[in-house]
Amino acid sequence: MVFWQKPAFLAHMELNSPIKTKFNFNIDDLSPAIAESDSLAPMFKMFTENKGLKIDAFAIPKWMGHWDIRNYPTWIENVKNLVDMYNLRLCLHGFEHDLRDGRVSEFTGMNTQQCVNILTSAMKVFVEVGLPICKVLRPPRWYMTDYLLEACSELGIDLVCVAWSTAPRRLWNHGLDTVYSNLYHSNSPNFPSDSQASDERHNVWADFSNQVICHAHYGRDAYDSIRNKRIKFPIRSFIPQDAEFIHLQEAVPFRKVMENADPTVQALC
């Protein structure tokens, strides 16, 4: 199965991994602000219909200052069931995901200590309600600042999932790794169409790392994109039959891939 066309500037190269054998599915904006019919229920269906599936969900403990998960015990219990019974891992997606007043990101204008305080507050909420949280961060709108990178280093958050515009070397300078999404599923016109990779550099990285990192905005987007008329097959038909489902923390990070890459590829970052 071909996921992408080799870009012209790499035409002379023999890429080592034409078939992707590792597959990750990750979803943003897990919060009681999103109806369970559009978030938890689709994920439950995906787990039951695809044996061995692993999902990383980027969760928000107090979306926009109003949707505090501590006030939604049923939602907490349902998330716990997905964590305990299936392969759901929760990752950090900010504290309030507050983008009001034209802010680019929740961390816009924050110094290192303020970023530390926000991330610490988020992790404390998950501990308080008994939900395990991985030290993996995707900041709101996938936007990083150097202060936020410093805060991640200080807190031991060593895997940060961002857009390519955050150059990987910026992360490496802070001792951080990254994993880029190179495949999207979404019903939103603001996202690339199904099966369309986001950037040639992402594709090169995916090819050398022998993995596909698939992102969906909501659980409903993920499920509908796979099951509705736009994509008429389950996940296991979409990827090679021998593919291994992985969590983001099990993926080969970008830095590791680049260590053994051709200089032409290394120059991309």
Q: How far apart are CA 100 and CA 128, in angstroms?
A: 27
Nearest to 90 by CA among 126, 119, 144: 126
What is the residue type of 192?
P
Could you give the domains of the chain? 8-266 (3.20.110.20)
Per-residue tokens: 8: 């012209």
pLDDT at residue 35, rounded to an integer: 83
Which residues are CB-contacts of 236 (< 8 A; sequence separation ≥ 6)? 50, 51
Predicted confidence (pLDDT) per residue in 10-44, tens digit: 344 344 444 457 888 899 899 998 888 788 988 89
Confidence class for position 51, pLDDT limits 50, 70, 90: confident
Let me know if 198 is exposed, middle or buried by CB neighbors in 10 A (0-12, 13-18, 19+): middle
Predicted confidence (pLDDT) per residue in 193-220, tens digit: 433 444 455 555 555 667 777 777 766 6
Cβ proximity of 94 and 60 under 8 Å: yes
Range scoring the smallest mean pLDDT among 51-55, 134-138, 139-143: 139-143
- Which helix (H) or strand (E) element contains residue 223? helix 219-227
Instruction: Report, as an integer, the average pLDDT of 102-125.
Output: 89
3-state secondary structure of 66: coil
